[in-house]
């Protein structure tokens, strides 16, 4: 037990002169002294008298006093002496206190390594679409709306938006010869013949290559710099910030099929440390013209490995698109499920929409955050 011998000596022959102690030694002293009190070798009054002569070298706080109480019953006079020690110790300056060690995140790759990684990922991104097989998939989009926090119905300013699901779209997605085709099958689990392109509200396309390719095309001249290490779906990833100027942007944001803009944008590209493939990409629109109805726009696209006819391919897992327009927040959560080999004659039954993916599938651990310092995978 910590400092048991030292504490026992203090308890028997504590000198009349003032004693200096660290909080850790005080805790050990109290622990041993309580045993002497229980054995009636010391009284509460004697222990309190000893404590009145203690001078601490660091601040004592209520949490540590509570820890002392958990070791055994503390007499009222001893408790009063501890609180007096606590109050006296608050005058200690920062120089008297040993700060906890500052968390230092893992170092980034060298500048030369970073340059080589971006070059390799650029080649991968530009050829990504060509590497994909022809396939079918089920696309499920849950479209949600919320009033802006701080508005009349949005709750307190700074609070989390209260999203409500407006509808759920189930789409037959076919990818053939590097072209995407969308056929709307169900709306809220009810069959429909409505055309996907004619839907009102927010929709998105381009998840199967064009969004990633546009960031890495030489024409775009995106600027990359290191951001952090992270963990995503059990893999260690390297996150790079990037920025694309408006003059080079190819990201099209459309509103109600009537108005559209091509904004500047920035975000993160998160790359598997071992394979150097992209596991996540984010886009945030910048400098949107004041006259455009959409005030904010963000997209997060996650990739994961999917089996198609016994072969694994890195394909979109989920995309989340958020917008702020007309005083309303919208959020589309789109999942890509049930990948299978393409067949024009494939008979697919869409009886009911699958449940949403669990949050842990897209939750990232940021290794630069001190609260994740103990996660061995970050080292």
- Kindly report which listed range (142-151, 205-214, 311-320) carries the lowest average pLDDT score: 205-214
C-alpha to C-alpha distance for 263 and 221, rounded to whole angstroms: 15
pLDDT of amino acid 52: 85
In contact, 31 and 7? CB cutoff 8 Å = yes
Nearest to 297 by CA among 273, 346, 262, 270: 262
pLDDT (tens digit, 9 = 90+) per residue, 13-22?
444 444 788 8
Residue 333, Cβ density class (10 Å: 0-12 exposed, 13-18 middle, ≥19 buried): buried
In contact, 299 and 207? CB cutoff 8 Å = no
**Strand pairing report for 19-21 and 54-56:** parallel
In contact, 372 and 233? CB cutoff 8 Å = no
pLDDT of amino acid 12: 44
pLDDT of amino acid 49: 84
Residue written as token pair 């940021």 = 366
Phi, psi values for residue 191, rounded to 5°: -60, 150
With a pLDDT cut of 90, the percent of the chain lying above it is 39
pLDDT (tens digit, 9 = 90+) per residue, 349-361?
666 677 888 888 8
pLDDT of amino acid 9: 42
pLDDT of amino acid 98: 58
Question: Measured between alpha carbons, how far is residue 316 from residues 74, 132, 137, 205 in Å?
Answer: 61, 11, 10, 12
Residue 206 has pLDDT above 70, yes or no: no
Residue 10 has pLDDT above 50, yes or no: no
Phi, psi values for residue 248, rounded to 5°: -110, -5
CB atoms within 10 A of CB 177: 6
pLDDT of amino acid 97: 54
- Kindly report which listed range (72-81, 235-244, 246-255, 307-316) carries the lowest average pLDDT score: 72-81
pLDDT (tens digit, 9 = 90+) per residue, 295-318?
899 999 999 999 998 899 999 999
Judge if pTM exceeds 0.85: no
pLDDT (tens digit, 9 = 90+) per residue, 271-292?
999 999 999 999 999 999 988 9
């Amino acid at each position: 037990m910590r400092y048991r011998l030292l504490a026992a000596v203090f308890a028997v022959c504590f000198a009349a002169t003032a004693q200096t102690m660290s909080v850790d030694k005080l805790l050990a002293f109290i622990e041993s002294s309580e045993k002497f009190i229980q054995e009636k070798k010391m009284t509460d009054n004697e222990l309190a008298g000893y404590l009145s002569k203690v001078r601490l070298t660091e601040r004592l706080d209520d949490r540590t006093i509570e820890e002392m109480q958990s070791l055994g019953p503390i007499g009222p006079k001893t408790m009063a002496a501890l609180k007096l020690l606590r109050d006296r110790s608050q005058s200690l300056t920062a120089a008297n206190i040993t700060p906890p060690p500052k968390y230092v995140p893992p170092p980034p790759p060298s500048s030369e390594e970073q340059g080589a990684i971006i070059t390799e990922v650029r080649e991968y991104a530009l050829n990504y679409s060509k590497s994909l097989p022809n396939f079918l998939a089920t696309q499920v989009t849950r479209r949600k709306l919320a009033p802006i926090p701080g508005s009349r119905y949005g709750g307190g300013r700074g609070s989390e938006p209260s999203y409500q699901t407006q509808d759920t779209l189930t789409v037959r997605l076919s990818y053939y010869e590097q072209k995407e085709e969308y056929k709307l099958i169900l709306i809220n689990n009810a069959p429909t013949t409505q055309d996907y392109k004619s839907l009102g509200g927010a929709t998105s396309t381009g998840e199967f290559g064009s969004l990633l390719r546009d960031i890495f095309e030489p024409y775009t001249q995106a600027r990359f710099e290191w951001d952090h290490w992270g963990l995503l779906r059990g893999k260690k990833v390297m996150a790079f910030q990037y920025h694309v100027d408006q003059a080079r942007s190819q990201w099209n944001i459309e509103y109600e099929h009537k108005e559209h803009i091509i904004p500047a944008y920035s975000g993160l590209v998160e790359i598997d440390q071992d394979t150097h493939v992209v596991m996540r990409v984010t886009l945030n629109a910048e400098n949107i013209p004041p006259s455009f109805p959409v005030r904010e726009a963000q997209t997060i696209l996650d990739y994961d490995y999917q089996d198609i006819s016994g072969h694994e391919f890195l394909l979109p897992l989920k995309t989340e698109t958020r917008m702020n327009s007309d005083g309303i927040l919208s959020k589309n959560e789109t999942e890509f499920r049930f990948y299978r080999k393409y067949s024009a004659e494939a008979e697919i039954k869409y009886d009911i929409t699958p449940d949403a993916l669990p949050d842990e599938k897209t939750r990232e651990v940021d290794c630069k955050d001190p609260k994740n310092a103990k996660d061995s995978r970050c080292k």
